[in-house]
A and B are shown apart, each in its own frame.
Chain A
Amino acid sequence: QVQLQQSGPGLVKPSQTLSLTCAISGDSVSTNSVAWNWIRQSPSRGLEWLGRTYYRSKWYNDYAVSVQGRITINPDTSKNQFSLQLNSVTPDDTAVYYCAREENSCHEYWGQGTLVTVSS
């Protein structure tokens, strides 16, 4: 059974960097047939797909244009996890952030969610 465990701070100051980690059990971040995603949810934006990382003989990333230039998703094969970094955050980035495993063009496994508040 795949399980995703998120960690990271719940409070970030404006203009700083939001950093979250998603630890994977029951699967490998390097599995060829899946992708590892970050999705956020807020009352104003609803559910919003942010990006993903995946391995197909080499590593690839895809990012939403709404956060392009501010977002980085990195795999960590040594710890079997992946991370999200979102730079230059504003209060509009306040949301519950989820990591999720993508397979067959859907997201079956989700992390528990992390409420990140952007405030000074």
Chain B
Amino acid sequence: QSALTQPASVSGSPGQSITISCTGTSSDVGGYNYVSWYRQHPGKAPKLMIYDVSNRPSGVSNRFSGSKSGNTASLTISGLQAEDEADYYCSSYTSSSPLYVFGTGTKVTVL
């Protein structure tokens, strides 16, 4: 099972919106509505931002939203803030081993 494909970097100015894509296959992203997104600051553990494609855990800002079309999922961050500067990873449940596959990661830079 290969890692999900994400752009290496995305940038935006404060207040703008950005979108990060996550491309997999019909065996993972396309086959299940079990896509999640994580934010990771340097030296810290990942933090869950979106689960089941588009659901936000309690406490996560509504500036974060998720969607999916076919084998590609997307994370949109609106109203970009300095604290959003971090690495972002998507993850999907898969039909075989490993049960979960992660994306290659996207570095978000707030200009």
**Residues of A in contact with B (beta carbons under 8 Å apart):** 37, 39, 46-50, 52, 62-66, 68, 98, 104-108, 110-113
Contact = CB atoms under 8 A, between A and B. Distances in A.
Interface stretch (B10-18, B19-27, B75-83, B95-103): B95-103
Interface size, B (range): 20 to 34
A106 B49 CA distance: 10
Contact of A106 (B51, B98, B103, B104): B51
A116 to B, nearest CB: 15
A98 B46 CA distance: 9
A66 B98 contact: yes
B64 interface: no
A2 to B, nearest CB: 12
B36 interface: yes
Contacts of A105: 32, 34, 36, 51-52, 93
Contact of B97 (A65, A107, A111, A113): A65
Contacts, number: 65
A106 B34 contact: yes
Of the candidates B47, B93, B99, B103, the one having the most CB atoms from chain A within 10 angstroms of its own CB is B99
A50 B34 CA distance: 18
B102 A47 contact: yes
Contacts of B91: 47, 106-107
B57 interface: yes
Contacts of B103: 46-47
B110 interface: no
B52 A112 contact: no
